[in-house]
Chain A
Amino acid sequence: MELKVLLDEKKISVILNRLCCQLLERHGDFSNTVLIGLQPRGIFLLDQLVNLLVNYGIKSLKTGKLDTTFFRDDFRRSELPLNANSTEMDIRIEDKDIVFVDDVLFTGRSIRSALTAIDAYGRPKSIELLVLIDRRFSRHLPIQPDYLGAQIDALQGDKVKVVWSKDISKNIVYLEKKNE
C-alpha cells in the first residue's frame, strides 16, 4: 500500500482553528447549539473541536455521540455484520441547532443514516454538517457539508485515514492508495 500524507499536523491545526472560527461566527455563544460526533470516527474530531473551542471562550458546550449502525441501509447486504458503537445522547435536541461532526464525507450514506437516527431524540430546529475531509465526486446522495476542512480527489478503492492523537501536534491525514 502506498501512503501519501494529505494533511500534516500544521495544516490540520490551521483547519481546526478555522472550523472553530466558522462555528463561532454562525453559532455565537453556542447556547442553542449541540455538536454531535458521529461514531465511530467523528467523535475524535468532536473532542478536538471541543478542546479548541474552550480557547475561544466557549466553556459549556452541549455535545453528544451518535451511532447510526441500526439505521444504515446496507444491513444484510454483505456477509459482514454491522456491529454497533455506543451512543451518548444525554442532551435535549428539541428545537436545537445541531451540528453533525464527522472526519470523512464519502458517499453520504452515513450522514443519511444520522439524519434518520437523530429523529429518535426529538425534532431539532436545524441540522448542519461539519467534516474534516470531503472526498469529491464520490457522493451517492445529495448531501454536502456546511463546514469543510479540505477537499480531496481520490480514486474508488483508495482510503483516507485520519490519525488522531491526544497531542494536537501529532494529528495526520493519509491517503492509502489502492495497489495498481
Chain B
Amino acid sequence: MKSLSVSNFLGIKYLQPEDLHLIFETAIHFKEVINRPIKKVPSLRDVTIANLFFESSTRTKLSFELAEKRLSADVISLSTSQSSVNKGETLVDTVNNILAMKVDMIIIRHPNPGSAHFLSKHVDSCIINAGDGTHEHPSQALLDAFSLQEKFGDLKGKRIAIVGDILHSRVALSNIYALKMLGADVKLCAPKSLLPKHIESLDVSISSDLVKTLNWCDAANMLRVQNERMDLNYFPSIREYTQKFGLTGKLLKQLRKKIVVLHPGPINRGVEISSEVADSDQAIILDQVENGVAVRMAIIYLLASKIIIPKT
C-alpha cells in the first residue's frame, strides 16, 4: 500500500518522484471512472471541501469542483467578490471561520505567492494549492506531465520546451520541477525580459530562438502572455511578440518532426498560438482538460486518505 509523503499539496518542490508516480497511477483509474456511464464514486461522501478562489479562474475552479463532486465530497465555494475579505478580514480568519463549519480540506487560489504555504502553517486542515500568484500551480503541472506521459510513456530523456511568459507563470515553475523530477530535459524559450533571474539554476537550458527550440523538442508547452500581471512593457508590441514567439501552422509544418503542443489555457488565439495549431491533431489541449479532472481526483483522494475517521 502506497501513500503520499505529504499531508498538504502545496507545490511540486515539496513532493518526491514516488508521489508523482502514485498520483499518475491513481489518475489512470480515475480517468476510467470519469468515462463510465455513471461517473461518480462514493469514496469522499463524508468529506467536506471548501474552494477558496481569491483570483479569477475558469478551468481550475471547474475542474477541482467536478473532481470533488465525482468523488462524492460535499463542496462549498467562495470567491473574493462574495467574501468578507473585502471588509478587511484576514486570510487566516476567513479560513478558520470556514473550518469551524467542519470543513476537512481547503483548496486555495490566491494572487500572493506562498499563500497556500502560509495557510498550511497557520490552520489545522489539509491545504491544496490551486495556484499562488507567480509561484506554483502544482495540479496544472501534474496534468501536463500526465498528458505527456500518455503520449510518450516514460518522460525520461524527453525534450520539453516551455515557451512564452515564464516570468509571470506559475505553470512554468511547477512544470520545470515536475518534468525534471520525471527525468525530462527542459528548455525555456522567451524574450529575455520575460525570464526570471537565475532560472538556469533549476538545471534548464534557455533560448530566445523559437524555431531552434521547436526543432529540438518533442513537445512544447505554449504559455499565455499574462498581461494582467504586467506592470511594465516587457516587449514592444503584441504583434512583435507573436512574430518571434507565436506558434503558427506554417511554422509547425516546417519542423523536422511532429511535436506535441500543450497549452494550459486560457488561449489567446493568434498571440502565443494560432487557431490552426490550437485546433490541430498535434495539440492535446482538450486532453489536458480531461486529464485535469482525473489528476485532481487522484490528488484529493490520496490526501483525503490521510484524514482518518476517529473510532469514537
Q: In the assembly, what is the distance between CA of A83 and CA of B309, in Å?
A: 18
A60 close to chain B: CB less than 8 A: no
Whether the pair A77, B308 counts as a contact (CB closer than 8 A) is yes
Against B, the Cβ 8 Å flags (1 = close, 0 = not) of A55-99 are 000000000000101110001111111111111010000000000
The interface centre, meaning the residue of A83, A86, A87 with most chain B CB atoms within 10 A of its CB, is: A83
The interface residues of chain B, by DSSP majority, are classed as loop
The interface centre, meaning the residue of B39, B43, B46, B308 with most chain A CB atoms within 10 A of its CB, is: B43
Q: In the assembly, what is the distance between CA of A75 and CA of B32, in Å?
A: 20
A1 close to chain B: CB less than 8 A: no
Which B residues are CB-close (under 8 A) to A87? 29, 32
Against A, the Cβ 8 Å flags (1 = close, 0 = not) of B17-33 are 00000100110110011
Assuming the A-B contacts A76-B305, A77-B308, are A71 and B42 also in contact, with contact meaning beta carbons closer than 8 angstroms in the complex? yes
Interface size on A, residues (CB 8 A): 23
Assuming the A-B contacts A81-B305, A84-B26, A87-B29, are A121 and B36 also in contact, with contact meaning beta carbons closer than 8 angstroms in the complex? yes
Least distance between B299 CB and chain A CB atoms (Å): 13
B230 close to chain A: CB less than 8 A: no
A8 close to chain B: CB less than 8 A: no
B304 close to chain A: CB less than 8 A: yes
Which residue in A70, A76, A116 is a CB contact (below 8 Å) of B308?
A76
Q: In the assembly, what is the distance between CA of A121 and CA of B37, in Å?
A: 6
Assuming the A-B contacts A76-B309, A83-B26, are A70 and B41 also in contact, with contact meaning beta carbons closer than 8 angstroms in the complex? yes
The interface centre, meaning the residue of B28, B33, B302, B306 with most chain A CB atoms within 10 A of its CB, is: B33
Q: In the assembly, what is the distance between CA of A85 and CA of B29, in Å?
A: 7
Which residue in A75, A78, A89, A121 is a CB contact (below 8 Å) of B43?
A75
Least distance between B44 CB and chain A CB atoms (Å): 8
Q: In the assembly, what is the distance between CA of A15 and CA of B245, in Å?
A: 69
Q: In the assembly, what is the distance between CA of A117 and CA of B37, in Å?
A: 12
Whether the pair B43, A70 counts as a contact (CB closer than 8 A) is yes
Whether the pair A79, B308 counts as a contact (CB closer than 8 A) is yes
A29 close to chain B: CB less than 8 A: no
Which A residues are CB-close (under 8 A) to B305? 75-76, 81-82
Q: In the assembly, what is the distance between CA of A70 and CA of B30, in Å?
A: 9
Whether the pair B42, A70 counts as a contact (CB closer than 8 A) is yes
Against A, the Cβ 8 Å flags (1 = close, 0 = not) of B289-312 are 000000000000110111111000
- Report the nearest A residue to B308, measured CB to CB: A76
Which residue in B3, B28, B41, B309 is a CB contact (below 8 Å) of A71?
B41
Assuming the A-B contacts A77-B309, A80-B1, are A116 and B29 also in contact, with contact meaning beta carbons closer than 8 angstroms in the complex? no
Q: In the assembly, what is the distance between CA of A70 and CA of B304, in Å?
A: 12
A158 close to chain B: CB less than 8 A: no
Q: Could you give 23 example pairs across A and B, Cβ below 8 Å? A: A67-B29, A69-B29, A71-B42, A71-B43, A76-B307, A76-B308, A77-B308, A78-B308, A80-B3, A81-B1, A81-B3, A83-B22, A83-B25, A84-B26, A84-B29, A86-B29, A86-B32, A87-B29, A87-B32, A116-B42, A121-B36, A121-B37, A122-B37
15 further interface pairs, Cβ-Cβ under 8 Å (given A75-B43, A82-B1): A77-B309, A78-B308, A80-B1, A81-B305, A82-B305, A83-B1, A83-B2, A83-B25, A83-B26, A86-B28, A89-B36, A120-B33, A120-B36, A121-B36, A121-B37
